[in-house]
């Protein structure tokens, strides 16, 4: 990919729309990932893990804020995107639509979902969009701690009692298909971003992701190379079908906090 | 799930002495690294490290853990 900054005004409308879709799906996924971590601040297995989960939630929300701000360069008001959209407009990964049922699912998401987001960010950060190139390295440095924690916990649960192992495997097998479809998107917007040298090909991102998680998820008996991507796809939002639950979106938008604002 | 006590040491600036800032209970070295970094994040540390409490060898006293702190030795 090119290291030069593309002239955004020179991009055709389809590529600008593809870039808007990419930034929105990354930002929304970060926002929802943080929200799902925050669900476990008081339910993590130890005080230390609760603090770490809280910190990861803060990291994800910070990353989301930085990503939303990039929309300004496309003449999109981030304030509206962050606070005035309905659930059906959210472009977050569909595996984040509902709360995680158990701790094994959280741990699986640290490896699978957060891991996929990092692969997508790496690709975006290497491309020609300058704001991504300057802001994403710090995000990825923070994500190294998430990955370390996810892998350590994944291996621990995979080697634990039958029930924990089974829950981990079930969660991983449930999360992988939509994550693979999201990373490997090969629709018109994805091809436009590839042609503009803003991201790598989806197939390259999938390959990088499989390489990153292969040796981890095998501990739960999951063969990442045998998992097929989900087939259902919403091209407008760049994610699978469905939407986050309304309660999650109210929290993501900050409805209750904002109702206290005095103009 | 068995947890290990790790003591946490940090310094704010290059050249400062490493100072004991607290402890964490962790599954292993990797989780101890992250727990320490995320728990004791009130400063912009130049360096932080963790040591399993069981690796600390007493020199002049057999009980090294301060009162109220847990240790891996009796």
The complex's ipTM works out to: 0.74
Domain A12-254 has what CATH class? mainly alpha
Over residues A79-88, the pLDDT tens digits come to: 999 999 999 9
Nearest to A109 by CA among A28, A216, A245, A13: A216
Judged by CB atoms closer than 8 Å, whether chains meet at A52 and B41 is answered as no
Degrees to nearest 5, angle at CA A188 with A75 and A124: 60
Question: Most B CBs within 10 Å: which of A40, A52, A144, A168, as the mutation test of the B interface?
Answer: A52
Residue with tokens 């003449």: A75
- Going from the C-alpha of A151 to that of each of A58, A157, A220, A225, the distances in angstroms are 20, 10, 12, 18
Task: Answer yes or no: is pLDDT of B73 > 50.
Answer: no
Give residue limits of the domains in chain A. Answer: 12-254
- What is A45-59 written as a DSSP string? SSHHHHHHHHHHHHH
Element (H, E) at B52: strand B47-52
Over residues A113-166, the pLDDT tens digits come to: 999 999 999 999 999 899 999 999 999 999 999 999 999 999 999 998 889 999
Give this prediction's pTM: 0.89
How many interface pairs between A and B have CB atoms less than 8 angstroms apart?
Answer: 44
Judged by CB atoms closer than 8 Å, whether chains meet at A148 and B34 is answered as yes
User: Is residue A127 within 8 Å of residue A190, measured between CB atoms?
Assistant: no
Question: Touching check for A83 and chain B: CB below 8 Å?
Answer: no
Question: Touching check for A151 and chain B: CB below 8 Å?
Answer: yes
Q: What does pLDDT average to over chain B?
A: 86
Longest dimension (CA), chain A: 57
Contacts with A45 from chain B: Cβ below 8 Å: 1
């Amino acid at each position: 990919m090119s290291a030069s900054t593309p002239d955004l005004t020179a991009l055709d409308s389809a590529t600008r729309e593809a870039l808007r879709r990419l930034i929105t799906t990354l930002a929304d996924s970060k926002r929802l990932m943080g929200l799902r971590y925050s669900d476990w601040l008081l339910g993590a297995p130890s005080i230390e893990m609760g603090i770490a989960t809280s910190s990861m939630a803060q990291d994800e929300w910070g990353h989301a804020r930085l990503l939303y701000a990039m929309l300004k360069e496309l003449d999109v008001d981030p304030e509206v995107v962050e606070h005035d959209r309905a659930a059906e407009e959210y472009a977050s990964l569909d595996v984040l639509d509902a709360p995680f049922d158990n701790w094994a699912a959280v741990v699986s998401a640290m490896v699978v979902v957060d891991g996929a987001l990092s692969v997508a960010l790496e690709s975006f950060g290497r491309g020609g969009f300058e704001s991504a190139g300057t802001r994403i390295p710090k995000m990825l440095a923070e994500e190294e701690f998430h990955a370390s924690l996810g892998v350590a916990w994944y291996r621990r649960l995979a080697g634990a009692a039958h029930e924990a192992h089974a829950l981990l495997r079930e969660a991983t097998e449930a999360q992988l298909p939509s994550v693979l479809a999201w990373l490997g998107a090969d629709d018109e917007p994805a091809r436009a971003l590839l042609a503009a040298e803003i991201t790598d090909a989806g197939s390259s991102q999938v390959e990088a992701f499989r390489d990153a998680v292969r040796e981890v998820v095998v501990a739960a008996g999951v063969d990442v190379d045998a998992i097929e991507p989900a087939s259902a796809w919403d091209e407008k939002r760049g994610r699978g079908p469905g939407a986050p639950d309304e309660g999650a979106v109210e929290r993501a938008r900050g409805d209750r906090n904002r109702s206290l604002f005095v103009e | 799930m068995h947890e290990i006590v790790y003591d946490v040491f940090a310094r704010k600036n290059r050249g400062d002495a490493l100072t004991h800032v607290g402890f964490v209970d962790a599954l292993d070295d990797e989780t101890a690294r992250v727990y320490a970094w995320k728990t004791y994040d009130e400063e912009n540390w130049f360096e932080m490290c963790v040591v399993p409490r069981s690796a600390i060898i007493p020199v002049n006293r057999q009980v090294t853990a301060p009162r109220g702190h847990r240790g891996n030795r009796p």
